Amino acid sequence: MNYVVDTHAIIWYFTEDKRLTKRVYKIFENSLKKGLIIIPSIVLAEIMYIARKGKITITFEETLNRIEKYQNFFIAPLDVEILKIANKIKANIEMHDKLIIATAIYYGATLITKDRSIRELRLCKTVW
């Protein structure tokens, strides 16, 4: 199974943060054997931003280095097809959340997110 990750999920996985649920940790670990972890480009942009502000303990460069170590991690480009899907999302949510959801829809993947409001929209399959 393939998964799209939101910003919290990937940061907490890389920093071994206890707020990451055991279920999601297991998904990351099991994906090493089978499956793909898809990281939307907008997630990387958000990591760059919050790392520069000192809000997380991992740098943008460290994040990229960690991603490159995993053969099953894929950085999804922000392209016109994902933008078209995001444009159809009528929910009143932030643009980066629309783009993350649109990426999950585009790839037919389950979205890993702690964000309850995204999960409650039921626009794509989610897990936390």
Largest CA distance in the chain: 37
Grouping H, G, I as helix, E, B as strand and the rest as coil, residue 125 is coil
Read off the pLDDT of residues 44-63 as tens digits, 9 standing for 90 and up: 999 999 999 999 999 999 99
- The C-alpha atoms of residue 74 and residue 97 are separated, in whole angstroms, by 19
Beta-bridge partner residues of 76: 40
- The C-alpha atoms of residue 14 and residue 90 are separated, in whole angstroms, by 32
Domain that holds residue 7: 2-127
Does the global pTM surpass 0.75?
yes
Structurally, the chain folds into a number of domains equal to 1
Domain at 119, CATH number? 3.40.50.1010
Read off the pLDDT of residues 29-48 as tens digits, 9 standing for 90 and up: 999 889 999 999 999 999 99
